[in-house]
Amino acid sequence: MEGLRNRRNRILLRELIKTDFKLRYQGSTLGYLWAVLKPLLMFAILYVVFSKILRFGGEIPHYPVYLLTGTVFWNFFTECTFQGIHAIEDRGDLIRKISFPKYIVVLSATSTAVINLLINVGVIFVFALINGCTPSLSWLLVIPSIIELYALALGISLWLGAVNVRLRDIGSIWEVLTQALFYAVPIIYPISMVTAVSSTAANIILVNPIAQVIQDVRYNVVTDQTVTTWGFTGVVWGLVSVLIVIVILIFGALYFRKRSKRFAEEV
């Protein structure tokens, strides 16, 4: 009986992922190409403004790829959390009609962001090769970085998604917070600009799991001159960054499980 239930849940998750991904680009002229074009367009704007006009990143090897990497992973985090926070609200009709584990809805919504990320990581690799980056086995370390960032986004999605069922302002509040967080993460500017002013501020920024992941990917794919959490703040603080992800994921899952019993009534 348990095996049958698990199989049913897997089938439901697979079908929801397919549906979510198709609906994301339904009616669009370019369709699935937007999965690649959206981060590339944002990258192009940031590159022109901050590299050509404000002259950021001149000292960083392969800065265009460096910037593209930060843009792609930041877009993944925001897309994943936005979709996850609204997942229960958007699937209210399904939740009221069918009895199934509600976390499946959040998993399906966030999984479409993972698909987009995997496509864009391929784009990063192509750009890296064109820009003269040397491929190596360290590129495989992107995989654990993706898992870590997804775990963080999933934990936030489960927590805030459960809150959003009752307080529909959460999505708007989170949007404002992410806009502020964008400038607190070294996406458009090199962390060396911060270290030159205050090592304490750099420590605080690098303990942020999002910054830690982005810097790790840049180090492993773009250039080993990248300042990482592990190298700058030390292994202990690097582990603290990972611990933050684990705590948020566990807390989000427990809170979601507690609140999910009343979703059908409240959604």
pLDDT band at 3 (very low <50, low <70, confident <90, very high): low
Domains of the chain: which residue ranges? 2-266
Q: Answer yes or no: are the C-beta atoms of 197 and 142 closer than 8 Å.
A: no
Q: Which of 13, 226, 26, 220 shows the shortest CA–CA distance to 121?
A: 220
CA–CA gap between residue 167 and residue 106 (Å, rounded):
17
Q: How much is the pLDDT for 56?
A: 65
Span of 53-57, 123-127, 222-226, 263-267 with lowest mean pLDDT: 53-57
Q: Answer yes or no: are the C-beta atoms of 105 and 162 closer than 8 Å.
A: no
pLDDT tens by residue, 78-87: 999 999 999 8
Residue 27 scores a pLDDT above 60: no
What proportion of the chain, given as a percentage, has pLDDT over 90? 37
Left if phi > 0, otherwise alpha if psi is -120 to 50, otherwise beta: which for 28? beta
pLDDT band at 221 (very low <50, low <70, confident <90, very high): very high
Q: How much is the pLDDT for 112?
A: 87
